[in-house]
Amino acid sequence: MENSFAQATSVFTDSDLTTLAPDGYYSNAGIVRQQLVGVLLSPETCSTCCVPCNATVGVFESTNGLYSSCLELGGGTGAVIFRIQTIFLETPNRPVGTIITHNGSNYNRFTCKNNHFGITLVDYSNGVASPPVTVDYAGFNNQPPTTPTYVGGEPSSVTFIKNYNQTPSDPCADGDQLENYTYSAGSFVEQGTYQTVEVTDDEVGYATGSGQVGPTVFTLVFPKTNAGSSLADILNYAPLCTTSMVWEVESSRTTAVLSGHYQAVVLFLIAQLLHHFLQRFTLQETQCLEHSRHSSLLWTRTPRLMWATLCS
């Protein structure tokens, strides 16, 4: 008898098959499949599903794309630190949107080094026709966190805030739908499907100012309160042609053992403190990522992916 999960097109939460299950990884009888925007992707083995803990990933493509991957966070509890840098021809003007899902919660708020100290983060929550609005962190007005927050510099040659719904062309054209990619066995694989994406006024978090906008590293911090929950799902949205991003995840910092409610409260406060601490101070790993074009990282190129050693 064939495995019905292997033949299924979607996972639902009700017997009437009317409510789609959240996007993420699902398994049955040894088969693992990822559900992305409500559609089950091809089966894969669990060992190839996720980006290893503390790895650095880079994507450099001439097209746009929606990149889906799973992160291994390791055991223990603590604060998880995600960093991303968007670069195109030495400029940050190809914003990339990110939303991370862990243990049933979504995260999309970013800060950066020198935020409020030379760099200003802005969005267009009052409308694209108005002057940009200064915000304390990227994603400030993009709450509750159900959609990605786009970070980087504001593009000067194209309108970024719009609907990307055109039938894809070759070569990639401004306004094309995003092609779906999923992480598998060390690289992102084309799925042959496309997704309409709308970028709204409050989803952007552009960096402006004199504080080295070009090499800006954006940081997202979220709490890991359950030692048994070791995975997180991440979606990176790159609507503009020529995707260029480098990101890394630092595994959870171990904290003292506390009972359930108090542990959750303490870890939430730790994540908030780290969020504000990283606005002004530089961690060793952040310095390493910012100077990734020099000798601090050793790169090895693979299709649609670049791996690097972390700072020692």
CB atoms near residue 205 (< 10 Å): 27
Q: What is the structure's pLDDT at 79? A: 92
Q: What is the structure's pLDDT at 37? A: 86
Q: What is the structure's pLDDT at 64? A: 94
Q: Quick one: DSSP state of residue 76?
A: S
Q: What is the pLDDT along the chain (312 residues), one digit of tens a residue?
A: 345 777 889 888 777 888 888 777 665 554 667 788 889 888 765 555 688 878 888 888 889 999 999 888 887 889 999 999 987 555 557 899 999 999 889 999 999 888 888 888 999 988 877 788 899 999 999 999 999 999 988 887 788 999 999 999 999 999 999 999 988 777 888 989 999 999 999 999 988 876 556 668 899 999 998 887 888 999 999 999 988 888 999 876 544 444 444 445 444 555 555 555 555 443 333 333 333 333 222 222 233 333 332 222
Give the type of residue at 69.
Answer: S
CB atoms near residue 138 (< 10 Å): 30
Q: What is the structure's pLDDT at 300? A: 28
Count of residues in the chain: 312
Q: What is the structure's pLDDT at 257? A: 41
| pLDDT tens readout for residues 242-282 | 888 889 998 765 444 444 444 454 445 555 555 555 554 43
User: Which has the closest alpha carbon to 27: 54, 3, 56?
Assistant: 3
Residues 6+ away with beta carbon under 8 Å from 160: 95, 150, 154, 199, 204, 239, 240
Give the type of residue at 181.
Answer: Y
Tokens, residue 18:
């009317």
pTM: predicted TM-score of the whole model, two decimal places: 0.72
Give the strand order in the sheet containing 78-86: 111-112, 218-224, 78-86, 243-250, 56-61, 305-308, 299-302
